[in-house]
Structure 1
């Protein structure tokens, strides 16, 4: 597993305060209500609380992860964190996913139910499906990747699958083998499509969405993480995506990318300048053209696709 476990003091590993345990320790409902009233605690769900300073440190994914842990602790039968609710334990992206409901899978193979913000699933659990991460039982990365495709869009699912592949948490072969056993699962119509589009070389949500944009708008599919060389074979740089036959490459600009490229003592502006010089070098030495897109461009995909198409096929115009 390439995704390391969390540090013990990570706020996402915080203990959920359960009412039943608090009562055993001598608390009463009046004292609990007082903690909630003065905002010392926040209420995750009925009978489950968290200290406010911890809650305030968490993003939406981290909050969902602790809510899911509360559901698991309070369940009347053994359940495993699954679908989108297992992703926080892998630090996986949750872009485009509905986190309003906690998903768990029953271990007793009985029919699940949906109530009070919780969806219980009853899919058959195979050997190797359940692992322990950060002290909780969660579905394996392989199964999680496939489960997400049954409840999310192709674009959001692709972001998850590519992340887990790139991190080495699963492989295309493992996904294909496990998918063969899902023929009777409901809502798997898009699973095969996501697996065909998935690419372990894609490094970020922004890149996954850019790749999906090309598919959605019927653009020629680019080569991922392409090494551009000059006529002598000298490596000029690796680009996010490229269409070598059209002499065009695409770079996705995002905050995470620049943070990853930061060297000791550098600022984000230093990375921007260095990336700009790399782009200019590639264009000057090869005659290739570059298009850079950002998160804002992904929110206007039709216009962005038209801009890419105009670079690939300049004689056709936009």
Structure 2
């Protein structure tokens, strides 16, 4: 299992969170705290928790949730671990489709959890190795988080997280399946098995994970991810996102991140698009296959997109 390095100390996601009791102990009162917020010095990240606004303004939704989780972690009256969706940002994993409105914590005292004031406390039985320390807080490991997320979100969003952890080497399919075998009593775990069945370490991006979910949910034949294309000499010259060799069809997902990945110094996005079209022609010349291209808008209309793919697969 490969755990990524922690963020550098000056990363705005590591900005300190000031609890009200700490500010009061340093000479402030509710009036002066409100004034600091009004003046744009502090921002309230949750009741009784504040952070520097200049840092907060640099963060996306996941980063802001991280500060809110940090405040809730410090405010907890018992030992807790960041879990479920609240552990995901600590590994810089994608939060697409996750509900970040509540902080999720798991109690270590074995008592029943509760849901109040924007904090969802869980009661979970921990095994050795389930918890690590990251960025000054206790956080569930990627393997545990991957399974937990599937119990509080959709199968599609859960697959995005699970595939990310698998692709980055932070857990393995075997590890997840072994852990899943002993989680029968976890609440809301009915979709976990479905997500694990569809999970694949070869799937690289959020868009690709969503495309897999769309295709399999529609009953389409499972494609081969990251399929290698070889030239006349047998050398690998390209890779397509998905392929159905038996149907003579490949599929590419065109996302902004993908084009940014291929962007070289001095190039524009249009240069990459032109290069992609040449690459597609080369692949078609070598294989004789037809190519389907999807983008984010196609994922937002799954029924129509599944029909398009089905028609292309069974054409003729």
Give the CA RMSD over aligned residues.
1.2
Partner of 1:156: 157
Deviation at 1:148, TM superposition (A): 0.5
Cα distance in 2, alignment partners of residues 20 and 312 from structure 1 = 63
Cα distance in 2, alignment partners of residues 231 and 2 from structure 1 = 40
Cα distance in 2, alignment partners of residues 236 and 91 from structure 1 = 31
TM-score computed with the length of structure 2 as normaliser: 0.96
User: Residues 177-216 of structure 1: matches in 2 within 5 Å?
Assistant: 177-216=178-217
Partner of 1:294: 295
Deviation at 1:235, TM superposition (A): 2.5
Cα distance in 2, alignment partners of residues 155 and 232 from structure 1 = 39
Cα distance in 2, alignment partners of residues 208 and 306 from structure 1 = 18
Contact between 1:230 and 1:285, CA under 8 Å: does it hold in 2? Answer: yes
Partner of 1:279: 280
User: Residues 222-241 of structure 1: matches in 2 within 5 Å?
Assistant: 222-230=223-231, 232-241=233-242
- Segments of 5+ residues of structure 1 without an aligned counterpart are none
Cα distance in 1, alignment partners of residues 179 and 120 from structure 2 = 22
Partner of 2:308: 307
Partner of 2:113: 112
Deviation at 1:190, TM superposition (A): 1.0
Q: Secondary structure at the match of 2:272?
A: helix
Deviation at 1:68, TM superposition (A): 0.6
- Segments of 5+ residues of structure 2 without an aligned counterpart are none
2:27 pairs with 1:26: yes
Cα distance in 1, alignment partners of residues 236 and 226 from structure 2 = 13
TM-score computed with the length of structure 1 as normaliser: 0.96
Deviation at 1:202, TM superposition (A): 0.5
Partner of 1:171: 172
2:45 pairs with 1:73: no
Contact between 1:227 and 1:235, CA under 8 Å: does it hold in 2? Answer: yes
Contact between 2:15 and 2:52, CA under 8 Å: does it hold in 1? Answer: no
